[in-house]
Every structure is written in C-alpha cells, then in structure tokens.
Amino acid sequence: MGEKRDYTQRVLLYDPMFDEKMRNASENRYKSKWKRAVFVIVIVASVLASIYFSFYSLERDRYAFKETENGIMLSQFSGRETDRVLYIDYLRDKDGNQPDTSKPVTQVREYAINCNEYLNFIYISKTVEKIESTSFFTVNNLYGVFVEEGNEHYRVVDGVLYELENGQPVKAVFSPAKRAYVLAAEAVGAAVPQSPEQVEAFLKFCEDNAEEIDAAYEEYRYTVDLPDTVKVVGHLAFAYNEKLRKVVLHEGIVELEEMALFRCSQMETVDFPSTLQKIGSDALSFCGEVKYIYIPAGVTEIGHHAFYNCGAEQIHMELSEEEADELVDFGDAWIPKKRNVIMKAVPVLYNQEKEVG
C-alpha cells in the first residue's frame, strides 16, 4: 500500500461527484416523479405502437390480389395447415371465400406462393393467361395441378403444366415436387383426383393408407415424356422433383432454361436432343446421379454452373475444342468440379460420339 496522504492539505482536481451543486441536480433529476412518469409513458406508448404496427405489417392474408391493366393478379397466397387446394379463379376475400365471378384472375405474380409446406393441389381456371416461372416456388408438398377445360394458355399433361401456343403445349412450365406421391398412391389403389372436388377423397385415402403409400413413395421413380410439340423446358420447370428418374427430351426441344432440372437428385440420365441450342445456368445443378453428359453440336450457349454438383466425371462434346471455343458461349464455371483436396473441373472430351444405351 502507498504512503498515507493527508487529503485535507491538498488541492484536488475538480470532481463532479464531490460537487454539491451537481449532486443536488442529479438527485432532483432522478427523484422527480413527473420526469419518471414521462419516461414511462413514452416508453410504454412507443412499445405498444411498435408492436401494433409490426404485427399489422407481418400479418398475411390467405389470399392477396392486385388490380393491373391486364386484369386481376393473384399476388400472394399464404395458406394455413388446412389449405390443401389453392383456387386461382376469381377475386376472393382475404380468407379465400366469396369469389367474385365478375372479376376473374388473369395472372399469377412471381413468388405468389413461396415456401408453403401444406398446399397439395392448385386449381387454375380458364381465365388465367400468365403464370410466372417462379409463381409456385418451393411448394414442397404439391401433388398436382388442375387446369380448367377451355384455358387457351395452359394445360396439364401427365401431371405437368404446359404453356400453349395455338392449342399445343410448347413450354414445360411446372411439375409438382411431390408428383411421385400421387403416383405411389395410385399404385396402392387411390383414384388420382382429376378435379378439386375429388381431392378430399384422395387425401382421406392417403391418410388411411399413409404407411403403405409412404413405403411405395420411398422407392418410387418415374419418367416424364414431354410432348413432341414442346420446344422449351422452362425456368424451374422440374426443380425439386426428387423422384424423377428421367425426362425424355424429344427432338425439337431448343432450350433448357435456368434451373430447369434443378435438384432432381434421383435423375439418372438426361439425353440432350440434337436440336438443343441453349442450356441455362444451373439447368442440371445438384443432379448427383447424372453420370453421363453429352452436349450435341447444336448447343451454342451454356449458362454458368449449368452442371454444378452433377455426378458426371467427364463432359462429352460433339464439337471439337476449336469449334466449341468459336461457336459456343460458355458461362462461368459451366464445367462441374470434383474434389481432390481442392475442387478441380472434370475433363471435357471433344469430338465425341454419343454413347448408345
């Protein structure tokens, strides 16, 4: 300890805590009842206001619509656990009741349904003219889509939604992620619903035979055969179709759009037709079971990360290296990589002929 010092003999530095005036002012401040009251009132009022406006902002109506120059647009659907069917037909109230038949829905906004785990079926009326590629994003338990007879723009063929041109399907728009569940249920004995009215019976059957259907679903794999008139496989068309084994791409198809076959984790083969011209970015990303990729000579554009995390150990190209450099517009990191300490691009083999079988 230091030498004892006599502080009464020293002139000390100014210290506000020993300043009587300061101490009194401080005491008056914190002992003042009205100041305390104002403090509490301001805090309570602002907290209550904040909670009210925040909950108001977060609250989501089941159905939200918007009037546009092209008609009524379904801008958002925030379904609950009990909402198993989404009706895209007319303007409805926020709970999806009281459809106004004088105001038909003509468009569906992008991300109108986003990360919904409950929805099983979507019904699209004949008035709907435009559905964005991302309108139904991450609807993990979607079993099927119905399109009303007479819709000139869309049709469902074998469970897949197509865009029409002159009455013919020309673009694959959307395939429900759990399509295989319906097929597995059918294998167990369910009647596949052809309209929203049949959904309840179907869901009841699924509930009563859940174990059997789940077991069948676990092993189920299916193939999609695109109609001959289809030219384009759209953005996210078959994304998250985990049980899809193969998509038959006929001659005539010219484009696989961005993420067309994204996360089709059980897809084993993909056979690009000679008419194919464009492979979009992430078109086959996370298709880990695809071991063989053959790029025909007609392809002039491959998007970035087109085959990211694919199972292929090599890429086979019909063109020569010089031709490919000259004719093909390659996106960044289009060649998939494999890890061997560091990630390394798999080899690209040029001048290849397609393997048969």
Rounded Cα gap, residues 252 and 254, in angstroms? 6
Question: Closest by alpha carbon to 345, among 317, 310, 318?
Answer: 310
Helix axis angle for 179-188 and 210-219, nearest 10°, is 120
Cβ proximity to other proteins: between 175 and 281 the closer is 281
**215 token code pair:** 């077991």
Minimum gap (Å) between residue 20 Cβ and other proteins:
8
Cβ proximity to other proteins: between 36 and 291 the closer is 36
Minimum gap (Å) between residue 98 Cβ and other proteins:
16
Helix axis angle for 20-31 and 33-58, nearest 10°, is 50
Which alpha helices (DSSP H) does 252-320 contain, by range?
A: none
Cβ proximity to other proteins: between 46 and 277 the closer is 46
Cβ proximity to other proteins: between 26 and 223 the closer is 26
Question: Closest by alpha carbon to 77, among 97, 95, 63?
Answer: 63
3-class SS of residue 280: coil
Minimum gap (Å) between residue 349 Cβ and other proteins:
24
Residues paired with residue 162 on neighbouring β-strands, in sequence order: 155, 172
Give the DSSP per-residue string, 110-123.
TTSEEEESS--EEE
Cβ proximity to other proteins: between 52 and 354 the closer is 52
Question: Closest by alpha carbon to 233, among 292, 291, 275, 280?
Answer: 280
* Number of residues written out for the chain: 357
Rounded Cα gap, residues 218 and 224, in angstroms? 18
Minimum gap (Å) between residue 102 Cβ and other proteins:
27
Cβ proximity to other proteins: between 221 and 337 the closer is 337
CA neighbours closer than 13 Å in the CB half-sphere of residue 305: 11
Minimum gap (Å) between residue 37 Cβ and other proteins:
12
Minimum gap (Å) between residue 18 Cβ and other proteins:
6
As a dihedral over the C-alpha atoms of residue 177, residue 179, residue 184, residue 189, rounded to 10 degrees, the angle is 140
Cβ proximity to other proteins: between 207 and 332 the closer is 332
